[in-house]
Structure 1
């Protein structure tokens, strides 16, 4: 892999992020399912999702505390994306979802706790360990922006199975573990909550 650089999304052209998302399921989602939650996301046209992502990632102020994520490039070519921002940004996990909150009682509105919720590696660059690099960059980014902690919500394989490509977009336990996050709960048979405190 070429030399990687990770930049907040508001510091790169939006077209670069669109190159990463492509026409895959990620391109149709536009990282809005995690932000909006299932109900609002489901019937929303792709173009409206794209406009919302543009608003979230292209803040007018380059020094904005959050820009919803990081874009990775390899020698100037956009190759990856990780959605990372304060946890309340992601309504799908912020609400009453048992995926995050089973057995936990902390303040859900604490925006000093960040979350990394979606990873995308551009077609043609997969299988080179880029998701590991994106997770490590998310940790560094959250820490540098004053986060108190960073969480992730990876899935694990069902009995004897494997995590398929679409499911892996939320990350896998080994990816987060390599970035220093440790498991804090297992709210369902396939979902884990992992965290690193700064």
Structure 2
């Protein structure tokens, strides 16, 4: 990216800026499906999902001590979002067989963080913004005391993918950020992990 890029914790963004990024399907999801799990997510209207996300991000409160994601700006325009939190915070992830296939570890280990979702705003896509977002999410998790961080990206094979499919991100940004593959639970899905040095 050649334009000025800034990535910061979501509490340093305004709620309106985050909502500019979360449009369309992402706007209906409000980045809460992984957090709530399918049953509770389907039962919650969009307004409730938005309230849950707003509380979790601490948007509009730069003094908040905790947030659950990062926002990217390109030339001061809100352009991207990455959801990152301790892995047990994501109920859907915990209950899905996909990330755990062939693995035996404590699902409630809050020392392992996860990148649950990546969203790039229309007009800023296809510029490589997911690369710095994944790297920043890893740095954020480490700064918060995480021992490791995981992602669950997809291999697209060069094919165009919908946001629903690719909200987990493509593999490339994870590889570039130093993640290594630890499992192949499906033909297109990978579990990627970065363990931090003590």
The normalised TM-score by structure 1 is 0.91
Distance 1:169 1:71 in 2: 15
CA apart distance, 1:161: 7.6
| Counterpart pick for 2:190 among 189, 192, 197 | 192
Distance 1:163 1:170 in 2: 14
Report the equivalent of 1:38.
38
Distance 2:50 2:15 in 1: 10
The structure-2 alpha-carbon separation of the partners of 1:61 and 1:12, relative to structure 1 and needing over 3 Å to count, comes to closer
Report the equivalent of 1:88.
88
Aligned residues: 193
For structure 1, list consecutive stretches of 5 or more residues without a partner in the other structure.
none
The normalised TM-score by structure 2 is 0.91
Matched, 1:162 2:190: no
For structure 2, list consecutive stretches of 5 or more residues without a partner in the other structure.
none
Are the aligned partners of 1:88 and 1:109 in contact in 2 as well (CA < 8 Å)?
Answer: yes
RMSD of aligned C-alpha atoms? 1.7
Distance 2:159 2:153 in 1: 13
Distance 1:61 1:76 in 2: 17
Distance 2:8 2:183 in 1: 31
